[in-house]
A and B are shown apart, each in its own frame.
Chain A
Amino acid sequence: MNKSCIYILLIFLLSSCLDSNRFDEKSDKRGKIKIDGSSTVFPITEAVAEEFNKIYPRIRVSVGLSGTGGGFKKFSRGEIDISNASRPIKDTEIESSKKNNIDFVDLIAAYDGLSVVVNPKNTWVDYLTVAELKKIWEPEAQGKIMRWNQIRPEWPDEEIHLYGAGVESGTYDYFTEAIVGKSHSSRGDFTASEDDNVLVQGISTDKLALGFFGFAYFEENRDKLKLVPIDDETEDNGQGPILPSVETVMNKTYAPLARPLFIYVSSESVKREDVRIFVNYYLDNTKTLAREVGYIALTPKDTEEDKKRFFDFCLKYSNIKADSLENERKSN
């Protein structure tokens, strides 16, 4: 018993020694930034935090995965500085933030193109309109729209198997809002999974499958899936069916399934220098980092807008004059 205790302690001591020399003195700025929320946004924030850590080794940024809803809950209690979100904040969440005197600014971190995919052996689907997708996914379709030829008569008289994001995810909320017209409302008889890799697996082995998930999951599995162009039947954002791609998501012609991913910054936290430095760094660097982890970067125009809104937000809550804020941003 004693021996094993000592061994465990030794392992533990060794591993903590290893780490203590890790940080050299590149920058003396200290701080502790807490981030939590959506697992969809997590990879972007993780990437930014990783690079940030190299320049500011003493500002400790930690990122959690409690989901968009869980993140906002902590955000409204003032437990975290920044909330990752794959959907906009809800009214009830705004109310509980207000109760704790917390205001927020929503900044777009990147875009994602929700991709509608079928099996490569599916030869008949050339494109889908938003109206057709609605017909497939709306709650009334449950138990009724079960065959491909019910969507278009010339398609085969075979079963349709649906795959989609789990109902607790922001992806599901966004898809239902964009397609059915009401967030969190769809038929229930589809294969749902919180883990998009499971959906990829399902669709790639099922000839009669139709499903949706984030663009990155399609990109990594191109050879196993077939992307479906989407036509929203409005002329002003690109004519005809459009495939999601870096370009069509960026220029917003891939509507309505190009979705923004957000970070929400707390009004209490921008009073601190470390948080301001981090968010400015975030906005400067998501362009390259978002693409690296599979998302689609903002246009320079969107980025400028984000920066301006964050600047105004800091001005309002940090009690620091505009010119010193400007200097802080430039020295970043």
Chain B
Amino acid sequence: MSNATRINRIKDRAFKYIGLFCTLFGIIVLAIFLIDILIKGIGRIDWAFLSSLPSRIPERAGILTAFVGTIWILILTAIIAIPIGISAGIYLEEYGKKSRMANLLEINISNLAGIPSIIYGLLGLEIFVRIMHLGNSLIAGALTLSLLILPIIIVATREAIKTVPKSIKEASFGMGATKWQTIRQITLPAAAGGILTGIILAISRAIGETAPLIVIGALAYVPFTPESPMDEFSVLPMQIFNWISRPQKGFAINAAAAIIILLAITFVMNGIAVYLRNRWQKKIRW
């Protein structure tokens, strides 16, 4: 074996281990974080923790209002953002002409996805809370978060539609179907798995947001669960944010427990996303 080959072999192996280290690095950091949180918080989670109101006494405090608020926000945000996001995605991918205007729209949507979330909070505060007089209500929070995740849903929809083979669509046109018929019966069902995955990931992001909700005035102490979209609310990240900065040790444990609940919700959502994607992929055959 020549010297050069040997050096190349060593380089090759070295890169393999560097790559492995890089892959593990992120996972290990995440694992340390998760284990730390689990050790601190898991013992605190019981029915009383889930069903109690916030309190000044850490052992008596619970996450009922924050949990219910998070579920409300999740559902309302989904109702608002999904139809708008999917429709916009379909338009841009299937109808939008390739023009300078379309390019401009495209660049803007990609940029929107990268804007810091607190900016959306300021936008929501001005438009929904003040101009539309919605106050610091659930609906104002949900509208703000919808804006935040719209770009993600639009991009996911477009990507999913792009994966549908052109030949299938053309076959549909060849059978005399209109554009709308093709989209409804061919393109959308084929792209549904990808679209759903995008939606669920976007909503998982929305329920973890704190900054925009603090700006629009989500509360930290609400002794009642919201009953209508116009009610004031708290969400889990707000409760965690509040607890984590309190001096008493008991609140740090509560925060860890609330983080576990929030992570559990996100994991369940991601699980649903994976499940749906697999199911749809199996169903589609051509």
The residues in B between 229 and 286 inclusive whose CB is less than 8 angstroms from any CB of A are 232, 238, 241-242, 244-249, 252, 272, 276
CB pair B220 A294 closer than 8 Å: no
Cβ–Cβ < 8 Å partners of A53 in chain B: 53, 223
Beta-carbon contact of A62 and B71 below 8 Å = no
A113 within 8 A of B: no
Instruction: Pick the residue among A15, A47, A64 that contacts B218 (CB under 8 A).
Output: A64
Does B227 belong to the interface (CB within 8 Å)?
A: yes
Interface residue from A1, A289, A292 paired with B276 (Cβ < 8 Å) = A1
Hey, which chain A residues are within 8 Å of B219, CB to CB? 36, 62-65
Question: Are B64 and A46 interface neighbours, CB within 8 A?
Answer: no
Contact of A15 with B67 at beta-carbon distance under 8 Å, contacts A42-B220, A42-B221, A63-B219 already known: yes
Question: Counting CB contacts under 8 A, is A19 at the interface?
Answer: yes
B77 nearest CB across to chain A (Å): 12
- B residues near A, CB below 8 A? 51, 53-57, 64, 67-68, 71-72, 74-75, 135-136, 196, 214-215, 217-225, 227, 232, 238, 241-242, 244-249, 252, 272, 276
- Nearest to B225 among chain A residues (CB) is A19
Dominant secondary structure at the A interface: helix
**In contact, B225 and A16 (Cβ under 8 angstroms):** yes
Is A315 interfacial (CB-CB < 8 Å)? Answer: no
Contact A8 B248 (CB under 8 A): no
Most buried by B among A50, A62, A79, A217: A62
Q: Is the CB of B232 within 8 A of A220?
A: no
Interface centre among B74, B215, B223, by most chain A C-beta atoms within 10 angstroms, is B223
Decide if A12 is an interface residue (CB 8 Å cutoff): yes
A196 to B246, CA, bound (A): 8
| In-complex Cβ contact of A16 among B136, B227, B242 (8 A) | B227
CB 8 Å contact bits of A2-15 with B (1 = contact, 0 = none) = 00100011011001
Chain B residues near A194 (CB-CB < 8 A) = 245
From B67, B215, B227, B246, residue with most partner A Cβ within 10 Å: B246
Specify which of B54, B136, B245 is in contact with A64 (CB 8 Å cutoff): B136
Contacts A50-B55, A65-B214 known; 9 new A-B pairs at CB < 8 A: A8-B74, A15-B67, A16-B227, A47-B56, A50-B221, A53-B223, A66-B215, A197-B245, A221-B247
Between A and B, 27 residue pairs with Cβ closer than 8 Å are A4-B272, A12-B71, A15-B68, A15-B225, A19-B68, A19-B224, A34-B232, A36-B217, A36-B219, A43-B56, A46-B56, A46-B220, A47-B56, A50-B54, A50-B56, A60-B223, A60-B224, A61-B221, A62-B223, A63-B221, A64-B217, A65-B214, A65-B219, A65-B242, A194-B245, A197-B244, A220-B249
Distance in angstroms between the alpha carbons of A64 and B241 in the assembled complex: 12
Contacts of A39 in B (CB 8 A): 242, 245
Assuming the contacts A11-B71, A64-B136, asked whether A42 and B217 have C-beta atoms less than 8 A apart, the reply is: no
Do A49 and B68 touch across chains, with their CB atoms under 8 A apart?
A: no
- Chain B nearest CB: distance from A330 CB in Å? 26
Q: Are B245 and A195 in contact (CB under 8 A)?
A: yes
Residues in A neighbouring B252, C-beta threshold 8 A? 197
Nearest-Cβ distance from residue B219 to partner chain A, whole angstroms: 4
Cα–Cα, bound, A45→B219 (Å): 13
Contact across chains for B247 and A65 when beta carbons are under 8 A apart: no
A292 near B56 with CB under 8 A, answer yes
User: Residues of A contacting B272 with CB < 8 Å?
Assistant: 4
Chain A residues within 8 Å of B135, by CB: 79
Does A293 reach chain B (CB closer than 8 Å)?
A: yes
Contact among B51, B68, B136, B247 for A220, CB-based, below 8 A:
B247
Assuming A15-B225, A16-B227, A214-B247, is B220 touching A63 (CB within 8 A)?
Answer: yes
When A49-B223, A65-B242 are in contact, do A15 and B75 touch as well, CB less than 8 Å?
no
- Per the bound structure, the CA–CA distance linking A53 and B238 in Å amounts to 21
Alpha-carbon distance A217/B196, docked complex (angstroms): 46
Residue numbers in A under 8 Å from B74 (CB-CB):
8
Report which of A8, A36, A197 forms a contact with B247, defined as CB distance below 8 A.
Answer: A197
